[in-house]
Chain A
Amino acid sequence: MEIAFRQPKDVVVEVTGLQVRLGDTQVLKGVSLRVRKGSIVALIGPNGSGKTTLLRCLLGLQPVDSGSVRLFGKVPGPESFRRVGYVPQRLQVDRSFILTVREFLAIRLPATRGWFWRSTHFIDAQLKELVADLDVERLLDRPLAGLSGGQLQRVLICSSLLNKPELLLLDEPTAGVDTPGEKDFYELISTVHRRLGLTVVLVSHDLSMVYRHASWVYALNGVICCEGPPEDVMSADSLKQAYGIHMTPYQHHHHVH
């Protein structure tokens, strides 16, 4: 009881005893974690360990069986979502929908709500800054549904930053992105993180990138198996605990083929 009143101001995400059952599987079996303001937190764990489910709980996309979720100290709701940017895992846009990248971005930017009645010139002027940063300029006229995996991820990151979020939730943001693109991507996240003072929670399987960029790592497998700074968590023992099998731990100078 006492704890509830002592919640520090700089905790952006607080999850306590979270349990979620999907069908016959108990996916989350009492997960607790905290994300501090300004940190880059990585969630790692094998496929099916509940990483996506956990992020969905934070956004009210997945009903919770028991436990609690707080965003910015409050129960998640439209108010707190306004402060969040989200890039879902494997977004698929129906090919029959012709929405262009420009339109998709304009819809989500407050200044261009009335895009339908505005000129392309006006919309582009509003979008200019972010679009240039993320190298999305060339894609503005393309239909969202016709982009490659990496292009779509860049557009989604761009769109998730439009409302100037304080918290960015990224679910396997580099799945489908080639290796050089992936490196650029993490550099980009670091830059954005530094410049905007964002808090980032990201799900990733790329342990070397996690090692390099995350400030805190949670290894999830139904429960949080271990947590800590990357150099502690990503040792052979704790990875084995998280993944249940032996994994080659991340080593310095180890080159991933």
Chain B
Amino acid sequence: MSIEPFMQRALLAALVMGPLCGFMGVFVTARRMSFFSDTIAHAALAGVALGFWLGVKDPTLPMIIFSLAVALLILWLKERTDLLNDTIMALLLSGSVAFGMVVLSLLKGFRNELDRFLFGDIFSVGWGDVQVAMGVAVGVSYLLFRHLNALALLTAHEDLAHVSGIPVRRMNQLFVILLTVTVALSIRLLGIVLVTSLIVVPPATARNLAQSLRQQIILSLFLGLSGAVGGVALSYPLNLPGGPCITLTLIAFFIFSLLISKLIRPNRSSPCPL
């Protein structure tokens, strides 16, 4: 049995982005940045709209640039103002979506594109996209592993990280940049609306089963991979959209893990607060 080329590309993209998001997500969830991740995903919509407006064919780059600008703006506002964190993010999330929609409406003819970006279009992934995804996944994973200790310490306690000689501010910025690039590239798979599920659900599932950070990272890598590849593999024969299938597969794993953790360790005090 041969796999059709578009399916090969889709599976490869899932194979690469799934584990990367799972890894990234361990720190996103532990640092309570799920909403942050969702905000920069939605900011991508404004980037897409601006890209079309400027006449760019492939809006990936403007998407990354705009998301990055919003991410750094959040960090800056957090440092410089007394505004509450989630207030800032809610404002930028809705603002970006509204702005993106207005620009797309003015441009006309891009209505169809909207769905692709909101809900993903994994079967339209080209070989070039797969290559970019692979390169980014290798680069981002390398940096995450390289700075694993700094990230873990930073997540446990920022002041201790500082005293251990970790450049806290620079490390936070690096993390946000890596997260933004990962999210922007995963939008092709899951779309703006659902991309956060690939970042948040695998580590949450792993959290229910793991007893240490190392176990959580390994499990989360594996769950991201299985969920993404499994979702894509299911979606085609069932003639269902890819993104939602990935999300539902991931959530099925999560429910399963919750049941297992309740059965095996019924008195465990804190399942993951998803």
Evaluate contact between B157 and A91: CB separation under 8 angstroms: yes
Tell me whether A121 is interfacial, beta carbon within 8 Å.
no
Q: Considering the complex, give the chain A residue whose CB is closest to the CB of B27.
A: A97
Evaluate contact between A100 and B269: CB separation under 8 angstroms: no
B270: chain A residues within 8 A (beta carbon): 95-96, 146
Evaluate contact between B163 and A59: CB separation under 8 angstroms: yes
In this complex, how many residues of chain B approach chain A with their Cβ under 8 Å: the count is 30
Tell me whether B156 is interfacial, beta carbon within 8 Å.
yes
Query: Contacts A104-B156, A113-B149, A146-B269; is A78 near B165 (CB within 8 Å)?
Result: yes
Query: Contacts A81-B164, A82-B165, A88-B157; is A96 near B30 (CB within 8 Å)?
Result: yes
Tell me whether B69 is interfacial, beta carbon within 8 Å.
no
For B212, give its contact among A82, A91, A102 (CB under 8 Å).
A102
Q: How many A-B residue pairs have CB under 8 A?
A: 83
Tell me whether B257 is interfacial, beta carbon within 8 Å.
no
Q: Which of B114-146 contact A (CB under 8 A)?
A: 145
B214: chain A residues within 8 A (beta carbon): 103, 115-116
Evaluate contact between B216 and A59: CB separation under 8 angstroms: no
Chain B 75-106 near chain A by CB (<8 Å), digits 1 or 0: 00000000000000000000000000000000
* B105: min CB distance to chain A, Å: 40
Distance A88 CA – B165 CA, assembled complex (angstroms): 16
Tell me whether B211 is interfacial, beta carbon within 8 Å.
yes
Evaluate contact between A107 and B149: CB separation under 8 angstroms: yes
Distance A94 CA – B157 CA, assembled complex (angstroms): 9
Distance A116 CA – B141 CA, assembled complex (angstroms): 14
Distance A107 CA – B213 CA, assembled complex (angstroms): 12
* A101: min CB distance to chain B, Å: 10
Chain B 152-171 near chain A by CB (<8 Å), digits 1 or 0: 11011101101111000000
For B160, give its contact among A86, A98, A141 (CB under 8 Å).
A86
A183: chain B residues within 8 A (beta carbon): none
For A103, give its contact among B160, B164, B212 (CB under 8 Å).
B212
For A97, give its contact among B148, B155, B164 (CB under 8 Å).
B155
Distance A59 CA – B165 CA, assembled complex (angstroms): 10
Tell me whether B234 is interfacial, beta carbon within 8 Å.
no
Chain B 247-273 near chain A by CB (<8 Å), digits 1 or 0: 000000000000000000000011011
Tell me whether A244 is interfacial, beta carbon within 8 Å.
no
Tell me whether A108 is interfacial, beta carbon within 8 Å.
yes
Evaluate contact between A98 and B157: CB separation under 8 angstroms: no
Chain A 109-152 near chain B by CB (<8 Å), digits 1 or 0: 00001011000000000000000000000000101101000000
Evaluate contact between A98 and B30: CB separation under 8 angstroms: yes
Evaluate contact between A61 and B157: CB separation under 8 angstroms: no
Tell me whether A99 is interfacial, beta carbon within 8 Å.
yes
Distance A84 CA – B160 CA, assembled complex (angstroms): 11
Distance A30 CA – B165 CA, assembled complex (angstroms): 28
Q: What are 16 of the A-B contact pairs (CB < 8 Å)?
A: A61-B162, A61-B163, A81-B162, A81-B164, A86-B163, A93-B157, A96-B29, A96-B273, A98-B212, A98-B213, A99-B155, A99-B212, A100-B212, A100-B213, A116-B214, A144-B156
Could you tell me which A residues sit within 8 Å of B by CB distance? 56, 59-61, 78, 81-82, 84, 86, 88, 91, 93-100, 102-104, 107-108, 113, 115-116, 141, 143-144, 146, 159, 163
Could you tell me which B residues sit within 8 Å of A by CB distance? 29-32, 145, 148-149, 152-153, 155-157, 159-160, 162-165, 207, 210-214, 216-217, 269-270, 272-273
Known contacts A96-B272, A108-B164; 13 further A-B pairs (Cβ under 8 A): A59-B159, A78-B165, A81-B164, A97-B30, A98-B207, A98-B212, A100-B211, A103-B152, A103-B214, A104-B152, A108-B153, A113-B149, A143-B212
